[in-house]
Amino acid sequence: MSFDESFDVIVIGAGHAGCEAASAAARLGSSTALITLNLDLVGQMSCNPAIGGIAKGHLVREIDALGGIMGRVIDRTGIQFRLLNRSRGPAVQSPRAQADRMLYRSEMRRVLEATANLSLRQGKVVDLVIHQGEVVGIDLEDGRRFGAAAIVIATGTFLNGLIHTGRRTYSGGRTGEPAATELADSLKRLGFPIGRLKTGTPPRLDGRTIDWDRFEPQPGDVEPVPFSFATDQIEQQQIKCYVGYTTSSLHDVIRANLSESPLYSGKIKGIGPRYCPSIEDKVVKFSDKSRHQLFLEPEGHDTNEVYLNGFSTSLPAELQQDLIRMIPGLDEARIIRPGYAIEYDFVDPRELGPDLQTRRLRGLFHAGQINGTTGYEEAACQGLMAGINAASFVQGRSPFRLHRKEAYTGVLIEDLITQGVDEPYRIFTSRAEYRLALRYDNADERLEKYGRDLGLVGDSDWDRFNARRDRLAELRQALENTRFRRSEPKYAALQAQLQTDLGDVISLAQLAKRPGVTPDFVRRLLPVLVQAGLRASDLETSLADNLYEGYLRSQATTIERLYQHDALRIPSQLGFRALSGLSNEIVERLERVRPSTFGEARRIPGMTPGSLSTLLVHLSSQQNSV
């Protein structure tokens, strides 16, 4: 077979999944091509110009610790940073940043172009080239044929995308861009089970037509917390966002015009995310709410475009304009781009193994919205894992996977491949059983070693990580070894301050766990030598480890008690059909998912206790004979 060009790895789509995949595969030494419909829109944010948020910020930190690029790019292009949940515990705090949309994509492209082994190509992929059950290349619309040993599909909403505004529908991957319809057909022909999902986006307004004074300003943090462990300082000039509200009369107009909405007229068949509802959905499902919150988010330093967060809609464009003007402060506002809904194809992620490779076709990997997820961060972490595993596949290295105990990335991938999706999947902290262990601030502690072993973490980052690890160990020592005894004068002062008995002797580590003891309080009690040069982020991590250790132990006890068999491995060649006592339905569920541990099997929806114990009996009997 002859190819116009040949690579080790080809990544289709240059969104957030594709960029991570291509960068990782290339840096792992595989010659890699990143193919996109429009090279000017690499790393484009299709929806809101923001990265992070609760659990999503955790993912970005994990990507960074593993050696991915999203965190560095947003740190250089973010125009408003906020650490969310500051008033809560460290495990549920998470960074979020508004991006300058144009800066983000130009910086992403710059980073990719500076990557050795990585070639950017523009073109439309129309088919996969298959040889002896393995994918060996792709065909482009312009007639070129590229060869590769591994292919990552990261097509986002472009896969058979269909855009809706009002009663008008047209094929498209994003407004103004064509859909990838041929590739969708190709996947269908190969027998992949394909479903339909939906998402939406709000209108963008002309900032010059907004009465800003009538909105409540929302400034960013004075001291921005970056995403990347490598970033010391946020350099971008920071901006404000603004908060406003809809009105009940606006709601009435929406309700009166529901027949114009493709969501309510039955035109849209795909399932949308419940946590990202359109304004139509909000008004209908929460009819008792007299107002809904809106955010005005400037899209960048050099544009008038403003993103109207909270007002996702697929109503007709002219109606959108009328509705916008009913919002206090937007009386004169003009829409630059109307909002729309988009339906797109996804492939049942239960087709995938833990390395994100399809079981149907060796060498083919899926990442991002094609797997039924939503969100840039969710896409990026899959892209990174798919890129790593595509390179590993080509290089004959063993697959890389993360356990749900050690990373949100692991939670997300295991959920996808074992549970499948019936609405766009978004990460939440509550999806992690070990939420307290998976903090944004300890992602380096959890994952940097993997990034280093893989070859994605460079020397300077590795040195930085080791230096921090040493500092944390010293700090931990200082917290344990600083003790206050009843006989000491300092003790009485402490007791008076905290108004509670502290026992005969208390360590600073124990003291720090008490309610109302702030990090600053702890800092001032540390030995002077330790205080000097102490970094706030180190103290926070140290205190978080200290705060949660007891809880993590008690949780581990409960989980060990109730789910003690979860770690039992299921041999990959195990024939479920051969196990007597399993119903056909259960066998089908198991075969579709192919769980690799008993715990994964246990979490498959619809498994009965009886079928689980049948499986358990079998696994137990094999445990020592394997």
Residues that bind other proteins in the complex, under the rule CB under 8 A: 48, 53-55, 84-85, 87-89, 91-92, 96, 273-277, 282, 285-286, 289, 292-293, 295, 309-310, 312, 428-431, 435-436, 515-516, 551, 554-555, 558, 560-562, 564-565, 580-581, 605, 608-614, 616-618, 620-625
Please tell me the distance from the alpha carbon of residue 330 to that of residue 296, in angstroms, as a whole number. 11
Nearer to other proteins, 72 or 96 (CB): 96
CB-based contact 251:285 (threshold 8 Å) = no
Nearer to other proteins, 96 or 446 (CB): 96
Please tell me the distance from the alpha carbon of residue 377 to that of residue 441, in angstroms, as a whole number. 17
Nearer to other proteins, 521 or 551 (CB): 551
Residue type, 118: L
List residues bridging with 346 in a β-sheet. Answer: 195
Q: Residue 581 CB, nearest distance to other proteins (Å)?
A: 5
Q: Residue 128 CB, nearest distance to other proteins (Å)?
A: 33
Residue 49 sits at the vertex; the CA angle it makes with 48 and 52, to the nearest 5 degrees, is 90
Nearer to other proteins, 83 or 136 (CB): 83
CB-based contact 113:73 (threshold 8 Å) = no
Please tell me the distance from the alpha carbon of residue 304 to that of residue 273, in angstroms, as a whole number. 29
Q: Residue 334 CB, nearest distance to other proteins (Å)?
A: 22
Q: Residue 122 CB, nearest distance to other proteins (Å)?
A: 33
Q: Residue 431 CB, nearest distance to other proteins (Å)?
A: 5
CB-based contact 339:311 (threshold 8 Å) = yes
Please tell me the distance from the alpha carbon of residue 173 to that of residue 439, in angstroms, as a whole number. 35
Tell me the C-alpha to C-alpha distance, in Å, between residue 475 and each of 382, 464, 484. Answer: 34, 17, 17
Structure tokens at 382: 């899959």
Q: Residue 412 CB, nearest distance to other proteins (Å)?
A: 12
Nearer to other proteins, 48 or 77 (CB): 48
Nearer to other proteins, 25 or 50 (CB): 50
CB-based contact 45:99 (threshold 8 Å) = yes
Nearer to other proteins, 285 or 490 (CB): 285
Structure tokens at 229: 């462990």
DSSP E strand stretches across 275-372: 293-298, 305-309, 335-337, 340-347, 364-366
CB-based contact 279:312 (threshold 8 Å) = yes
Nearer to other proteins, 214 or 514 (CB): 514
Please tell me the distance from the alpha carbon of residue 551 to that of residue 436, in angstroms, as a whole number. 8
Q: Residue 609 CB, nearest distance to other proteins (Å)?
A: 4
Q: Residue 602 CB, nearest distance to other proteins (Å)?
A: 9
